[in-house]
Amino acid sequence: MAWNFDDNRPIYSQLVEILETKIVSGEYQPGAKLPSVRELAITAAVNPNTMQRAFSELEREGLVNTNRTSGRTVTEDPNMLRQVRSQLARGHVDYFFKKMKELGYTNQEITSLANEAASKEDNQ
């Protein structure tokens, strides 16, 4: 199944987010070997050069290490993983607040709605 992308942003930055999410959620375990650029490009149905660019970004961040013999592996540094995880979480929260404000909610109303949703989840 091809991956889904938003129309209004470059594909490579969305690939970076998707791969980061797969790594911090444990779909790709710390220290695990990643599929090749070509394999992932075919799975995602994206251009291989675009996938390569996303991988370079993950390498630059230090989330992915390249080793001449074993290919690309996920970092085993727990601090690194925590940092990327909270970065992603903050992005989701910012987006949520932006959307709620578009609907005319105040910060207080948003927080109380979030609390309500959280207690509903707890009771399920």
Partner 1 sequence: MENIVELRGVTKSYNGRSNAVDHIDLDIPGGRIIGLLGPNGSGKTTIIKMITGLLTPTSGSIMIGNCKPGPATKAHIAYLSEHSALNPNRRIKDALYLFQDFYADFSMDRALTMLENLSIDPNATVKTLSKGTKEKVNLILVMSRIADLYILDEPIAGVDPAARDYILKTILTNYQERSSILLSTHLISDVENILDDVIFIKEGKILTQTTVENIRESQGKSVDQYFREVFVC
Q: Which is nearer to partner 1, 1 or 118 (CB)?
A: 1
Q: Which is nearer to partner 1, 15 or 34 (CB)?
A: 15
Q: For partner 1, which stretch binds (CB under 8 A), given 21-29, 47-55, 57-65, 113-121?
A: 47-55
In this structure, the dihedral spanned by the alpha carbons of residues 36, 42, 43 and 49, taken in order and rounded to 10 degrees, is 60
Q: Smallest distance, Å, CB 49 to partner 1? A: 6
Q: Find the Cα–Cα–Cα–Cα dihedral 106, 109, 114, 117, rounded to 10°.
A: -140
* By the rule CB under 8 A, 2 interacts with partner 1: yes
Please tell me whether residue 45 binds partner 1 under the rule CB under 8 A.
Answer: yes
Please say whether the beta carbons of 57 and 16 come within 8 A.
yes
Whether 79 contacts 61, CB under 8 Å? no
Residue 88's nearest CA partner among 61, 108, 109 is 61
Q: 41, 58, 63, 81: which one contacts partner 1 (CB under 8 A)?
A: 41
The nearest distance, CB 54 to partner 1, in angstroms, is 11
Is residue 98 a contact residue for partner 1 (CB under 8 A)? no
Chain position carrying tokens 């578009």: 102
The site for partner 1 (CB under 8 A) is made up of: 2, 5, 7-12, 38, 41-42, 45-50
